[in-house]
A and B are shown apart, each in its own frame.
Chain A
């Protein structure tokens, strides 16, 4: 089966600009996650969706980050405006509703200058 797809793979922007990331989960996976992974650290959960509803966005900086999963399949994560400390890899993962294993995409590496 195809894995989790993410695009773009790399993005370089200047601070205060906007950026958007896209994720296509594994077909049939109801749960979708966005993680932020700063260099040298483990991934940190930003937001979790169950179908098109938000389950947990407690660690999402809502003043600048937003995410949506309108049709319960693809998802986009947006940062507006970006800060230097947002430089990180943004990982998308998906999981079957009845399973435990999360499958990760390759990530988008964001550099904010």
Chain B
């Protein structure tokens, strides 16, 4: 069935530490993966994406790693800040289904000052 899931529902880190949020996906045909950040009362906000022909992509303070062998995706946030506190979702995009996004359940990141 369709399934994109996260290993941990909550993650608490100290301000300034690095955060790692993990995600498992089930469909090996997915060609594009996205990480979204959702703050309370807001819609999901795009953070970073990665295509299936890549294994790493870096943005500003964020890095996404893709391991297609074990169908695993991770989001690394460097020097985590209080403003990073939110729920993080991974999503797989299926272009062969009209760009349909399948979201995981989400990980709530709490940053302790």
A residues in contact (CB < 8 Å) with B: 4, 31, 33, 40-45, 48, 50, 55-56, 91, 93, 95, 100-107
Q: Which residues of B contact A105 (CB under 8 A)?
A: 43
* In the bound complex, CA of A41 to CA of B3 (Å): 12
B residues in contact (CB < 8 Å) with A: 4, 32, 34, 36, 41-46, 49, 89, 91, 93, 97-106
- With known contacts A41-B106, A42-B89, A42-B104, A104–B43 Cβ distance under 8 A: yes
A4, A48, A95 — most chain B CB neighbours (10 Å): A48
Chain A interface helix/strand/loop/mixed:
strand
Taking a contact as CB atoms under 8 Å apart, the answer to whether B44 and A91 are in contact is: yes
* Residue in A closest to B104 when the chains form the complex, CB atoms: A42
* Residue in B closest to A107 when the chains form the complex, CB atoms: B43
